[in-house]
Each structure stands twice: as C-alpha cells, then as structure tokens.
C-alpha cells in the first residue's frame, strides 16, 4: 500500500531518518483500517483510528507510568527509551525503541502503562487509537489477529533482549547490545554497519546494569581492538564476526 | 470466577493430571487458559481446536529450533525450557515455562520456531493448531481477547525480568530470578513462596549468565541468611521482603510487586 504513505524524506546527510511504511510494525494494520470505496479505490485509512507523524521533541514524554492505555505507537523516526524510577530517584532504563518498532503493547493487560517513555532525540510516532476502534467499523476479529502477530514479534524481540542482559561480563553485554541495535536497524531497512546511537552512555549503562565508566572504557577498548569505531554518538562496526565471537550470540 | 484458584504445587507428588483426554472444563488451569464467561457451545468448539493432549518425558523435545510453526502449546503440568545453540555450539537457555503458560508465542509472526523446547521434568501439554485458532477467532472473539491478554502478560513478565537482570551482582540476579518465578507462580494461583525449581542449577546459571558454582554458592548463602530454604529442587522462601529488597524490587511497579501482606498466613 505504498500509495498511502508519503515519500520518506532524506535526513540531513542524505541518510533516511523515517522508517518506510512497509517496514513498520503498524503496516499489517493498514489493510484493515483502509476503506475501499465502491469504485474500488483506496481512500486514506480511517480517520481517527490511525494518526500519523506526531512530532515528539527530544526529552518529551510519550506516556507516563500509570497512565491509561489510549493508543499503541509506532516509532516513525528517532528513538525512545522506557524507564522506571527507583526509590532512590534514579532512572532505570528498561528498553530502547527504534523506528518501525511498536510501543505500548504491554499495556493491553491491565490497560495501564507500566513504564514512562521519553524521546531520546527529535522523533515522530504514528498512533493506533484504541478508543476509536470500536466505533470505526473495523473488522475486530481481523484486527485482533493482526494484534496477535504484532505481539508475537514483540515477544521474540524481548527474548533476544534477555540474551543481551544475561551475558556474564561487561564486555559480552556491551558487544551483544551493539549487535542487537544493529540487527534491529537492519530489520527495518536502516544501515546496520554505521549508525547513530541515540541514547547517552548513561542510558546504556543503566540499561545494561554497568557503570558509565565501564561502558566508556569498553567502547575505547573495542575501538583499540579494531572491533568498531565510535565518535560521539556515531558508531561503525568494523569487525562484526569478532564482535559476535565476543558476544557469543548470533544476533 | 477468576482469582482464588488454589492448586497444589507442581511436584507435590502423586495425583498429577494423568488423563490425556481430560476436557477443558475439567482442567485445573481452566481459569487461566480460557476467557471468562465462555459458554458451553464455545467450550465444545475449543475441544475441537485442541488437537492433542500429550505427555512429555523429562528431556523430551517438544519442537526444534527452525522447525515450521503449526501449533501453540499450553503447559498443563511440569515445565519446559527453550534454548538456542550458540555459535560456539553451547546451549543458551532463552526461557522457562510453567503450568498455565503458553509456549511458542514468539513463533506466530515468524512462521517457524526461533528456539527449541524441551521438557525439564515429566510434563503434560495441550497442543492447539494455530490455523484452527485463527479460524475460530471470528466466531469466538473472547478467545482472541484472551490470547492478547496472555501475550501482554508474557511481555510484562519478560520486561520485569529484563529490568531485574539489569543488576550488577550475581546475588541480585539470582534473587531477581527467584522473585520473578514467585510472581509467575502467584499469577497462576500457585504458592509464591513454596515451589519447585524444575530447572537444573546449570540451566539457571546459563540463563542468568552466572557460573554454576556461583549459583550453588549463592543458594547456600541465601539459606544461611535465612532468606529461604532449599531442599534439592524445592524452594521455600522465608523472607520475601528481604529477597525483594535484594532483587531491587523498588524497580517493580505496583501490580507486579509481591507484598508480604498478600502472602497467606499458611505460606509465611
């Protein structure tokens, strides 16, 4: 259904910043949300159910812990982090979300969000409005079928993430993390060898359960060993197989 | 109808569900598996969807990684582990499945199984064809809704574990693991403080990224500290508050936190 999607604009350096609709986790829903008029022509997806490209500036919150589920979101561009606040007031990062990935599926049970989600850089999201569904005339059975597929994909993603955080050493964990990010970008049609890490070293450390200094030291060591190069947030994988060997994962 | 299902803990010996042809309405996991308020006719339909009820011996494979996906499995009794084989040929445990949980949910979107599944002990499972499930979805919307709830719960449980595993020390990781099992048992109406660890110490170590010796040493220490009692595979948690504290339970959000107040007197 590419005719429904606006062309993907190129980013500052000619690199693409938006995920193509076909690569997006919401794409499967598009078919269900599109009304075909008697002439057989497709119209825009049902207004009100799917809202597109809402801009979320860097540092803005998409939703907060405890908030009621209103919509499921797909990252269109940029990146997000989910986190929870510890009693100490410290942030504990629970996950990162990249373009094409769905956010909020875990709130289907209980109808409340368990984590707070914040934009790591200027980002945009497309939203599937749950409230509007019932009265939109969508074939709900097919919709749920699609939802089940989306959840299945998410569950697979989660178990790969568990592999990352279960790596015993700091070195293995960081290597597994870099490969995981690379794979997720590749799946959605982004460059997977050279990319930008939207999250801070602090976020990475919090997510992996490592000290910030350890993360920085490891990046330096990986660089010295010729595994990758980092400059600021730009990362380039130079020796993927060595990284895989280190991470002991296939990711 | 839900809530207050009190079941005997798996491994309490004898009397295990043995009848393979037992109908859904007679199953102890009925409330966990099926949508609330499902009617008689719909129940009959469900018996159509469930193509097989099987028993697995300890160590028996349910499916292999890479195999095409046809069916979803519900654990009725016993437990399973899923794992993949790493580049260096070693096994990496990717998950454990307890009674009332569904196995292979991650295969729906892929059309094949991303990991292999094996029984950790004598187990019984229900198998239902996903194709039939989809066909029935339109007729019994409650089924789809229930599936979505179950999947959402699985996502939450995984997130919780991810959160807990993002901890630095071996001690915190093992405490987090035991706590996450406690939560999963409780969600299914089992005791949160007295359960069987069907997985070996080496599976646990593998899953948590710890050496087997570390896992064993920590169990001994937890016991000395009065946190819990271990008798081979049976775990009795004496001080769930301290275990939670150790696991960094402050990170848990309300609905997932185990409050000692919720643990019935008999279990404390």
Evaluate whether residue B131 is within a structural domain. Answer: yes
Tell me the residues of chain B between 193 and 232 that have a Cβ less than 8 Å away from chain A: 207-211
Q: B114 and B185: one domain?
A: no
Residue B176's pLDDT band, with cuts at 50, 70 and 90, is confident
**A68 vs B92, higher pLDDT:** A68
Q: Give me the pLDDT at residue B26, please.
A: 62
Instruction: Please list every residue in chain B whose beta carbon sits closer than 8 Å to the beta carbon of residue A105.
Output: 151-152, 155
Cβ neighbours for B70, distance < 8 A, ≥ 6 positions apart: B129, B130, B131
Does B128 fall in a domain? yes
Window 230-249 of B, Cβ < 8 Å to A: 248
> Are A156 and B156 a contacting pair at CB < 8 A?
no
**Same domain, residue pair B152 and B186:** no
**Residue B256, in any domain of the structure:** yes
Give the residue-averaged pLDDT of A150-179: 85
Give the mean pLDDT of B162-174. Answer: 78
B247 in any annotated domain? yes
Of A106, A141, A209, Cβ closest to residue B137: A141
Number of domain units in chain B: 2
What's the CATH code of the domain at B147? 2.60.120.10
Q: Is residue B125 one of the residues assigned to a domain?
A: yes
Residue-level pLDDT at A59: 94
Do B30 and B140 have their domain in common? yes
Domain that holds residue B140: 24-156
pLDDT score of A103: 93
80-119 in chain B: CB under 8 A from chain A: 82, 84, 86-88, 90, 92, 94-95, 105-110, 114-115
CB contact under 8 A, B158 and A158: yes
Flag if B155 and A168 touch (Cβ within 8 Å): no
Which of B156, B188, B222 terminates a domain? The answer is: B156
- CB-CB: which of B137, B152, B163 is closest to A151? B152
| Residue of chain B nearest A150, judged by CA positions | B109
Contact A248 B149 (CB under 8 A): no
Comparison of pLDDT for B107 and A15, the residue scoring more: B107
Confidence category of residue B38, pLDDT binned at 50, 70, 90: low
Q: Do A155 and B154 touch (CB under 8 A)?
A: yes
Burial environment of residue A18 by CB neighbours within 10 A (0 to 12, 13 to 18, 19 or more) = buried
Asked if A174 and B124 count as a contact pair (C-beta separation under 8 A), the reply is no
Q: Region A51-57: what's the mean pLDDT?
A: 91
Our CA-based measurement puts residue B118 at a distance from the nearest CA of chain A, in whole angstroms, of 17
State the average pLDDT over residues A200-214.
Answer: 89
Domain identity same for B80 and B198: no
Out of B95, B147, B162, the one facing A165 most closely (by C-beta) is: B162
Rounded Cα distance, A226 and A240, in Å: 10
Name the CA dihedral angle for B245, B247, B252, B258, rounded to a multiple of 10 degrees: -70
Q: In angstroms, what CA-CA distances link A108 with A27, A52, A79, A223, B32? A: 19, 21, 22, 42, 16
For the structural domain made of A2-164, what CATH number should be given? 2.60.120.10
DSSP string, B92-148: EEEEEE-TT-EE-GGGTTTSB-SSEEEESSSEEEEEEEHHHHHHHHTT-HHHHHHHH
- B258 DSSP 8-state letter: -
Q: Report the pLDDT value the prediction gives residue B17, as an integer from 0 to 100.
A: 37
pLDDT digits (tens, 9 = 90+) for B100-141: 788 999 899 889 998 999 999 999 998 888 888 888 777 777
Asked if B108 lies within 8 A of A148 by C-beta distance, the reply is yes
Does the structure show a pLDDT above 80 at B66?
yes
In a domain, B260, yes or no: yes
- Do B152 and B174 fall within a single domain? no
> For residue B65, which residues of chain A lie inside 8 Å, CB to CB?
none
**Is residue B140 domain-shared with residue B32, that is, in the same domain?**
yes
A9 pLDDT tier (thresholds 50, 70, 90):
very low
The last residue of one of the domains, among B102, B132, B156, is B156
- Chain B residue with CA closest to A204: the answer is B166
The strands making up A123-129's β-sheet, listed across from edge to edge, are: A50-56, A123-129, A71-77, A102-103
Handedness of CA B264, B250, B105, B12 (dihedral sign): negative
Mean pLDDT of chain B, nearest integer: 77
Is B95 in the same domain as B206? Answer: no
> Does the pLDDT at position A1 exceed 70?
no
Q: From residue A182, how far is each of A147, A190, A191, B6 by CA, in Å?
A: 25, 9, 8, 46
- pLDDT-derived band at A15 (thresholds 50, 70, 90) equals low
Q: Do residues B148 and B259 both lie within one domain? A: no
> What CATH number does the domain containing B251 carry?
1.10.10.10
Same domain, B139 and B260: no
Has domain A168-247 been given CATH number 1.10.10.10?
A: yes
Q: Where are the domains of chain A?
A: 2-164, 168-247
CB contact (8 A) between residue A148 and residue B148: yes
> To the nearest 10°, the Cα dihedral for A139, A131, A83, A203?
70
Q: Residues of A with CB below 8 A from B155's CB?
A: 105-106, 151, 154-155, 158
* In a domain? residue B261: yes
Q: Does B4 touch chain A (CB under 8 A)?
A: no
* Same domain, yes or no: B125 and B193: no
> Considering B107, B134, B156, which residue would you say is the last residue of a domain?
B156
Mutation target among B114, B149, B159 for the A interface, most CBs of A within 10 A: B159
Kindly list the residues from chain A whose CB atom is less than 8 angstroms away from the CB atom of residue B144: 141, 144-145, 148
Name the phi and psi angles at A202, rounded to 5: -60, -45
Query: Is A249–B92 a contact, with Cβ atoms under 8 angstroms apart?
Result: yes
* B137, B189: one domain: no
Cβ within 8 Å of residue A77, ≥6 positions away: A17, A18, A19, A99, A123, A124
Return the pLDDT at B214: 94
Can you tell me the mean pLDDT for B24-31? 62
Residue that has been written with the tokens 């409330």 in this structure: B31
Mean pLDDT taken over chain A: 83
B142 and B180 fall within a common domain: no
């Amino acid at each position: 259904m590419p005719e429904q999607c606006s062309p993907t604009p190129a980013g500052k350096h000619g690199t693409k910043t938006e995920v193509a609709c076909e690569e997006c986790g919401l794409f499967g829903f598009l078919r269900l949300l599109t009304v075909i008029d008697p002439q057989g022509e497709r119209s825009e997806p049902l207004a009100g159910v799917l809202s597109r490209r809402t801009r979320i500036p860097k540092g803005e919150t998409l939703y907060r812990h405890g908030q009621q589920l209103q919509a499921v979101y797909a990252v269109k561009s940029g990146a997000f982090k989910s986190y929870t606040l510890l009693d100490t007031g410290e942030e504990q990062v629970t996950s990162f979300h990249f373009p094409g990935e769905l956010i909020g599926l875990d709130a289907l049970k209980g109808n409340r969000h368990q984590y707070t989600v914040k934009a790591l850089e200027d980002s945009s999201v497309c939203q599937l409005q749950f409230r509007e569904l019932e009265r939109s005339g969508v074939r709900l059975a097919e919709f749920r079928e699609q939802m089940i597929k989306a959840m299945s994909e998410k569950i697979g993603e989660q178990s790969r993430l568990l592999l990352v955080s279960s790596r015993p050493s700091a070195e293995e964990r960081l290597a597994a993390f870099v490969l995981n990010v690379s794979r997720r970008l590749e799946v959605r049609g982004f460059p997977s060898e050279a990319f930008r890490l939207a999250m801070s070293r602090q976020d990475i450390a919090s997510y992996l359960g490592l000290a910030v200094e350890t993360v920085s030291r490891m990046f330096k060591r990986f660089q010295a060993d010729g595994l990758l190069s980092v400059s600021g947030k730009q990362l380039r994988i130079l020796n993927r197989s060595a990284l895989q060997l280190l991470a002991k994962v296939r990711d | 109808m839900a809530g207050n299902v009190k079941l005997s803990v798996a491994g309490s010996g004898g009397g295990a569900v043995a009848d393979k042809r037992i109908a859904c309405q007679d199953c102890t996991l009925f409330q966990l598996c099926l949508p609330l308020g499902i009617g008689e006719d719909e129940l009959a339909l469900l018996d159509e969807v469930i193509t097989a009820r099987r028993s697995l011996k300890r160590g028996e494979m349910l499916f292999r990684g890479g195999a095409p996906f046809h069916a979803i499995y519900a654990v009725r009794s016993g437990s399973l582990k899923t794992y993949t084989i790493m580049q260096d040929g070693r096994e990496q445990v990717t998950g454990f499945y307890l009674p009332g949980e569904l196995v292979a949910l991650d295969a729906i979107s892929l059309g094949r199984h991303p990991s292999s599944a094996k029984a950790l002990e004598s187990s019984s499972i229900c198998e239902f064809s996903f194709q039939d499930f989809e066909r029935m979805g339109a007729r019994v919307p409650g089924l789809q809704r229930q599936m979505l709830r179950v999947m959402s719960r699985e996502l939450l449980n995984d997130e919780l574990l991810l959160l807990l595993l993002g901890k630095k020390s071996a001690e915190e990781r093992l405490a987090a693991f035991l706590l996450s099992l406690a939560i999963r048992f409780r969600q299914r109406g089992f005791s949160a403080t007295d359960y069987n660890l069907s997985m070996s110490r080496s599976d646990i170590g593998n899953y948590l990224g710890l050496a087997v010796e570390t896992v064993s040493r920590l169990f001994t220490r937890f016991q000395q500290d009065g946190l819990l009692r271990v008798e081979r595979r049976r775990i009795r948690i004496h001080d769930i508050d301290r275990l939670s504290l150790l696991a960094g339970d402050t990170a848990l959000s309300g609905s997932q936190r185990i409050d000692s107040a919720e643990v019935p007197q008999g279990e404390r």
